[in-house]
Amino acid sequence: GEDVEQSLFLSVREGDSSVINCTYTDSSSTYLYWYKQEPGAGLQLLTYIFSNMDMKQDQRLTVLLNKKDKHLSLRIADTQTGDSAIYFCAERSDYKLSFGAGTTVTVRA
């Protein structure tokens, strides 16, 4: 959506870390989400962060939130070929999710 912006493409070497960035505009967002979409499949929730937190770690995933700058990032450690997909950032306000256009992550050997 127009209120959530992401870079369109990211290429990363297998084993390196990936960082996907997202900016949003709604300061009343309560939760922010990262979804993964593989070819031909629906969206799979990867992780989420509450707006009063600034970091959340879940195994290989680290989410950083800068609420002042309305900037969200997702770091994937030790990126694998199975991480190749489209990653969507989404913000939730007033029970509604607004999605970015998605970042296509390509993992090269």
Partner 1 sequence: EAGVAQSPRYKIIEKRQSVAFWCNPISGHATLYWYQQILGQGPKLLIQFQNNGVVDDSQLPKDRFSAERLKGVDSTLKIQPAKLEDSAVYLCASSYPRVAGHQETQYFGPGTRLLVL
Provide the binding-site residues for partner 1, judged by CB under 8 A: 1, 4, 30-31, 35, 40-45, 48, 50, 88, 90, 92, 95-97, 99-102
Give whichever of 28 and 109 is closer to partner 1, judged by the CB atom.
28
| Residues 22, 72: Cα–Cα separation, whole Å | 5
Q: C-beta of 28: minimal distance to partner 1 in Å?
A: 13
Q: C-beta of 109: minimal distance to partner 1 in Å?
A: 26
Give whichever of 64 and 99 is closer to partner 1, judged by the CB atom.
99
| Residues 82, 29: Cα–Cα separation, whole Å | 30
DSSP three-state, residue 26:
coil
CA dihedral 55, 56, 59, 62 (to 10 degrees): -40
Give whichever of 75 and 92 is closer to partner 1, judged by the CB atom.
92
Q: C-beta of 102: minimal distance to partner 1 in Å?
A: 6
Q: Which of 59, 85, 57, 84 is nearest to 73 (CA)?
A: 57
